[in-house]
Amino acid sequence: MEGLHRALERSARENDVPGAQLVVWHGGDASEFEFGEERHGTGRAVARDSKVPIGSITKAFTATLLMVLVSDGDVELDEPVAEYLPEVRQARGGIADLLTARHLLSHTGGLHSEVTASPDGRSPLAASLLDVVQAPGAGFSYSNAGYALIGRLIEVATGMTWSEAVQTILLKPLGINLGFIAGADPVLPAAPSTASGHTVNRALRLVRPVEQELMSVEAPAGGLAASAADLVELAKMHLRPRHGGSDHGLVTPDHLAEMRRPVPGAEPFGLADGWGLGFALFRGGGTRWLGHDGTADGTSCHLRLDPESGTVVALTANSATGSALWRELLPELRSAGVDIDEPSATIDAEPRTAIPRECTGTYVNGDIAYSVVVRDDELHLVVDDEPAARLAVHDGFVFSVTDLANGATGNPGRFLRDPRSGRIDRIQIGGRVAGRQRNGREVA
């Protein structure tokens, strides 16, 4: 495993990652490595217990907390959430009687990606329910708004704030102390200090600290900061006792198994090979891995676990280029006997030589507008009027993504056709589905 430490340091330097943590847990033994500093230029070293904003890996904690309530009989997975949250009844499209906790946990609820700012005085969460991307159960579309709604469901079921509930019901029994980026409750103990995220300009080799920006309502979707060792403690709930695992009696074995089971119709193209209740599912070397990735402002974090072999891998990186660090560590992990792979949607074929003009246009998901345009004989993605990435379209109208700012390769996406007309009417990128606009109106 010592080779992993050298690989971590080498790749972190090459990708301008100021600091990182890597933990590999196998059969009860942990190999732990740290590199660099918590904030660029300060010399404050990354330690075992340094807390890094983990972004969407927060969802794995929120999902586990909800499953504690399901195990206790306080929430039913397949009961319409409107039975618990009357505000859901204002949602359009007749979804109030259809939308369940199972949909929300698996990103098949059809909600917009983000919590929506409201110009008419509605709460951001209520405004996010006014329109949907697709009907509940119709397919996968990654939704932070859905997890914000889970947070609200937890608050109603427990009578506590989300942060108080996650601390009292989940984190304290697990014996871990996390930081709260947003949504912290003043009654909680003081949170540990948190490492800074960093943006990177690869061309100029500029590394700059950035602050975290997150509304409190979004905290259940991305508001925690943790160390790699903390992530391993959560993952150990899914390991057998002989592998050093323990569910602490919080979630029944049946409900833990349900979290790991792929949900029909949850096809997170480019993100993973499937989705359970709160965890992504990955295939690698014949092994089905569970896990989650997370990006906060200037951070990139990754968690994978294999319940069968008792193996957990956790990486935290306090830079937006941490995803490149993760990809470069995968071959080193495989050499060490930990066979993790990228999602099977990884594209190996050469792109089309001709630019498919039928893909150009604007696609919307809530307040987010994805514009696909031709610039300099290339297909570019513009997000909310900001140039974001270069797209290379391959057979089947799947596309690879290259970040314009740092040159990093992102998760692949795809264009989707209307099954009736045959026209391209949607784009799926970052797991999110956005419908095409025609004459200023969404047609998805």
Q: Give the lowest-confidence range in 23-32, 149-158, 176-185, 366-375.
A: 176-185
Average pLDDT over residues 208-222: 93
Q: Which residues pair with 175 in a beta bridge?
A: none
Name the amino acid, one letter, at 6.
R
Name the amino acid, one letter, at 304.
R
pLDDT digits (tens, 9 = 90+) for 143-200: 999 999 999 999 999 999 999 999 999 999 999 999 998 755 554 455 567 899 999 8
CATH 3.40.710.10 residue spans of the chain: 1-346
Tell me what pLDDT residue 344 has: 60
Tell me what pLDDT residue 119 has: 57
CATH 2.40.128.50 residue spans of the chain: 357-439
Tell me what pLDDT residue 316 has: 98
Q: Which residue has the higher pLDDT, 103 or 206?
A: 103
Are the CB atoms for 150 and 222 separated by under 8 Å?
no
Task: Tell me the percentage of the chain whose pLDDT exceeds 90.
Answer: 70
Tell me what pLDDT residue 95 has: 85
CATH number of 357-439: 2.40.128.50
What is the Cα–Cα distance from 6 to 372, expressed in whole angstroms? 40
pLDDT of residue 444 exceeding 50, the answer is no
Q: Give the lowest-confidence range in 35-49, 280-294, 367-381.
A: 280-294
What is the Cα–Cα distance from 45 to 6, expressed in whole angstroms? 17
What is the Cα–Cα distance from 379 to 427, expressed in whole angstroms? 14
pLDDT of residue 21 exceeding 80, the answer is yes
What does the H/E/C string look like for the chain?
CHHHHHHHHHHHHHCCCCEEEEEEEECCEEEEEEEEECCCCCCCECCCCCEEECHHHHHHHHHHHHHHHHHCCCCCCCCEHHHCCHHHHHCCCCCCCCCEHHHHHCCCCCCCCCCCCCCCCCCHHHHHCCCCCCCCCCCCCCCHHHHHHHHHHHHHHHCCCHHHHHHHHHHHHHCCCCEECCCCCCCCCCCCCECCEEEEECCCCEEEEECCCCCHHHHHHHCEEECHHHHHHHHHHHCCHHHCCCCCCCCCHHHHHHHHCCCCCCCCCCCCCEECCCCEEEEECCEEEEEEEECCCCCEEEEEEECCCCEEEEEEECCCCHHHHHHHHHHHHHHCCCCCCCCCCCCCCCCCCCCCHHHCEEEEECCEEEEEEEECCEEEEEECCEEEEEEEECHHHEEEEEECCCCCEEEEEEEEECCCCCCEEEEEECCEEEEEEECCEECC
pLDDT of residue 30 exceeding 60, the answer is yes
Name the amino acid, one letter, at 17.
V
Phi, psi dihedral angles at 402 (to 5 degrees): -125, 120
Name which of 221, 227, 219 is nearest 180 in CA terms.
219
pLDDT of residue 121 exceeding 70, the answer is no
Are the CB atoms for 372 and 361 separated by under 8 Å?
yes
pLDDT digits (tens, 9 = 90+) for 315-336: 999 999 999 999 999 999 999 9
Confidence (pTM): 0.92
Q: Give the lowest-confidence range in 60-74, 250-264, 340-354, 401-415.
A: 340-354
pLDDT of residue 54 exceeding 70, the answer is yes
Tell me what pLDDT residue 185 has: 57
Are the CB atoms for 28 and 353 separated by under 8 Å?
no
Q: Which residue has the higher pLDDT, 166 or 348?
A: 166
Tell me what pLDDT residue 354 has: 80
Average pLDDT over residues 298-304: 97
pLDDT digits (tens, 9 = 90+) for 128-142: 777 788 999 999 999
Tell me what pLDDT residue 34 has: 97
The domain covering 1-346 belongs, at the CATH homologous superfamily level, to DD-peptidase/beta-lactamase superfamily (3.40.710.10)
Tell me what pLDDT residue 285 has: 66
